[in-house]
A and B are shown apart, each in its own frame.
Chain A
């Protein structure tokens, strides 16, 4: 098997960068662990879940998808190609990789998103098995696991008490990456460490079942009291994929942009006539939960949440998807309602 010392992950990054990969890894950024492009000298940190998710590199916060030259009343379209360099998502989390199954599905459901697909095809995904977790982690409650391989081209497995990493290829892309890593990897034997045990925090099937009959519920205003209506949770989420199309023009040029958007914002559903069908955070949180645990499962037979816990870690107001799901699951344990 292919091994690398756990403290030599930057050597692997350097080897892959030399081989022509844009290396995206969890980097210490002024004390914050952030997924970003690795450059010589940057420290890779695998001891905390990065504040952002891997989706940033497949579906960036803002992307130009069209361009026109303007000259008076005339306009000339210009070719816009996706910016899709060969990329490795190195030492990301299994919950990041799991999210790609949903993003692949949603960006190819009716319209094939050429920008997402170009970036996705150019990406090799190498998650690292989690041997530690925090209170916000809940992958095991949503069908995931700290050593899940969904969406992965190769896995990094901590071994020999965290001193070594096993790099195990899973796909052709993974094999190509192993070849590119070359001498950064050693041949040898090591014993993989057990993945961290993450307690199951709620029964997700009970959540989905409750949602199917509780579009109207007193629980929605109750669970959304703390939400102040920003987009931090959606933007940190590895599966949230809503965007807004905006045209921006000067006198000489117009660009069409695909910008991240969030259902937590009031503007998201504000109609031109002034009516807002989701007038408050109760309605917006209902949509957030329904989308992830009812609409997406119904349409794609997938969950819209991978249990990474980023939403709760970044929330400045203490909202937590796992806590909300636990409260919903608790509802189902109460006495049956009269409707049954």
Chain B
């Protein structure tokens, strides 16, 4: 990818004040870690390659960074979808954020506002194929009996230490008080064991149904290697099939969970 153009654009945004901070990636002894650039002269630190997997849109929920808005964020297509969805959920305004768009295959898309980001997503990334290995594993798990599936997930969740790295990594987990922090009384057991682990992981996935853009940051952040994307992708697929909606392509779209219709076919909702 043309990293020089990315650096030039970042420097230009900072120099003319269109952005007060550029959030991208830097190299630290071979690791790719986030870079928070506020001075055009530091833009040369930016790097980008396929190892840059963190979803930097998650920094929009960090209150300490609000004073640096408008902020420009280096974003691959799944991250662009996060940003469009955050706009749809009224968490970010058009004036707050710019995108330095990068493709998953070495193309640089330049500086985009949210409208241009949505247009690009619809034009070039309307279909984002899943990793074939992931699809295969979903098929295997879907073919299990409910008892087998329950055993599989109980074993996976047993490793959870409740560090909430999954929650931290996700731009859509922006609640100022998460359900596991409801402690007067405690709503969900915080013990890293048994039913509390099950409850936490299932509730996290449910709260992202129709909200996950499948960036993979939660699973990548999990120190225990719990395959969270197996849950997320199944729920995203269900929302797509049941509601005909793929999230993160339309900043005007009503959120699936946050909207209802008086004409809904289900009785319970009326």
Q: List residues of A whose CB falls within 8 A of some B CB.
A: 29-30, 32, 51-52, 61-62, 135, 221, 224-226, 228-232, 234-236, 244, 246, 248, 257, 259-260, 262, 265-267, 280-282, 314, 316-318, 320, 323
A236 B169 Cβ-Cβ under 8 A: no
Q: How far is the CB of A192 from chain B (nearest CB, A)?
A: 29
Of A29, A246, A316, which contacts B165 at CB under 8 A? A316
13 A/B residue pairs, CB under 8 Å, sorted by A: A62-B193, A224-B64, A226-B36, A228-B58, A229-B168, A231-B161, A231-B162, A232-B223, A234-B163, A236-B223, A259-B162, A281-B62, A316-B168
Q: Given A135-B29, A235-B223, A259-B192, 11 other A-B contacts at CB below 8 A?
A: A52-B223, A61-B192, A221-B64, A226-B36, A230-B165, A230-B167, A231-B163, A232-B163, A316-B169, A317-B221, A318-B31
Q: Are B169 and A257 in contact (CB under 8 A)?
A: no
Q: Name which of B74-82, B122-130, B181-189 contacts chain A.
A: B181-189
A236 to B224, CA, bound (A): 10
B220 contacts A248, C-beta separation under 8 Å: no
In the assembly, what is the distance between CA of A323 and CA of B44, in Å?
A: 20
- In the complex, the number of residue pairs spanning A and B with C-beta atoms less than 8 Å apart equals 103
Contacts of B168 in A (CB 8 A): 228-230, 316-317
- Let me know if B54 is at the binding interface, CB within 8 A: yes
How many angstroms from the CA of A199 to the CA of B162 in the assembled complex?
34
A280 and B64 within 8 A (CB)? yes
Bound-complex Cα distance A224 to B59 (A): 12
Asked whether, in the complex, the Cβ of B220 is within 8 Å of the Cβ of A316, the reply is yes
What 4 pairs between A and B have smallest CB-CB spacing? A318-B33, A316-B221, A61-B192, A230-B168
Asked if B190 lies at the interface with its beta carbon under 8 angstroms from chain A, I say yes
B108 interface residue (CB < 8 Å to A): no
Q: Which of B155-171 contact A (CB under 8 A)?
A: 161-165, 167-169
Asked if B191 lies at the interface with its beta carbon under 8 angstroms from chain A, I say yes
- With a CB–CB cut-off of 8 A, which chain A residues contact B17? none
- Whether the Cβ atoms of A259 and B191 lie closer than 8 Å is yes
Q: Considering the chains assembled together, what is the distance between the CA atoms of A262 and B190 in angstroms?
A: 12
Residues of A within 8 A of B36 (CB): 225-226
Are B164 and A318 interface neighbours, CB within 8 A? no
B236 CB–A CB distance under 8 Å: no
For residue B160, give the distance in angstroms from its CB to the closest CB of chain A: 9
- Pair A135/B162 contact, Cβ less than 8 Å: no
Residues of chain A with a CB closer than 8 A to B189's CB? 246, 248
B-side interface residues toward A, CB under 8 Å? 28-34, 36, 54, 58-59, 62-65, 161-165, 167-169, 181, 183, 186, 189-193, 217, 220-221, 223-225
Q: Which of chain B's residues have a CB closer than 8 A to the CB of A62?
A: 191-193
Given the known A-B contacts A225-B65, A267-B181, A281-B64, are A260 and B161 also in contact in the complex, defined by CB atoms under 8 Å?
yes
CA distance A267 to B186 in the complex (A): 13
Residue of A nearest to B224 (CB): A51
CB distance from B223 to the nearest CB of A (A): 4
- Give Cα A230–Cα B221 distance, bound, in whole angstroms: 10
What residues of chain B lie closer than 8 Å to A236, measured between beta carbons?
223
The answer to whether B64 and A235 have CB atoms under 8 Å apart is no
Measured CB to CB, the nearest residue on chain A to B160 is A61
Instruction: List the B residue with the shortest CB-CB distance to A234.
Output: B163
Q: Smallest CB-CB separation from A266: which chain B residue? A: B181
Quick check: A232 and B165 within 8 Å, CB to CB? yes
Contact B225 A246 (CB under 8 A): no
Q: How far is the CA of A134 from the CA of B172 in the complex (A)?
A: 33
Contacts of A224 in B (CB 8 A): 64
**A61 and B193 in contact, given A230-B164, A232-B165, A318-B28 (Cβ under 8 angstroms):** yes
Which residues of B are found within 8 Å of A248, using beta-carbon distances? 186, 189, 191
In whole Å, how far is B218's beta carbon from the nearest beta carbon of chain A?
9
Chain A residue at minimum C-beta to C-beta distance from B167: A230
Contact, CB under 8 Å: A282 / B64? yes
With A and B bound together, what is the CA distance between A318 and B34 in angstroms?
A: 6
Contacts of B59 in A (CB 8 A): 228
Give the docked Cα–Cα distance between A154 and B162 (Å): 33
Q: Distance in Å from the Cβ of A236 to the closest Cβ of chain B?
A: 6
Q: Give complex CA distance A135, B30 in Å.
A: 9
Contact (A316, B217) CB under 8 Å given A230-B163, A235-B161? yes
A317 to B181, CA, bound (A): 22
Give the distance in Å from the alpha carbon of A248 to the alpha carbon of B32 in the complex: 42
Q: CA A120 – CA B191 in complex, angstroms?
A: 22
Contact across chains for A228 and B191 when beta carbons are under 8 A apart: no
Tell me the bound Cα distance from A177 to B12 in angstroms.
65
Residues in chain A near residue B191, CB distance under 8 A = 61-62, 246, 248, 257, 259
Q: How far is the CA of A46 from the CA of B200 in the complex (A)?
A: 33
- Is the CB–CB distance between B221 and A232 below 8 Å? yes
**Could you tell me the distance in whole angstroms from the C-beta of A312 to the nearest C-beta in chain B?**
8
Contact of B193 with A231 in the complex, beta carbons under 8 Å: no
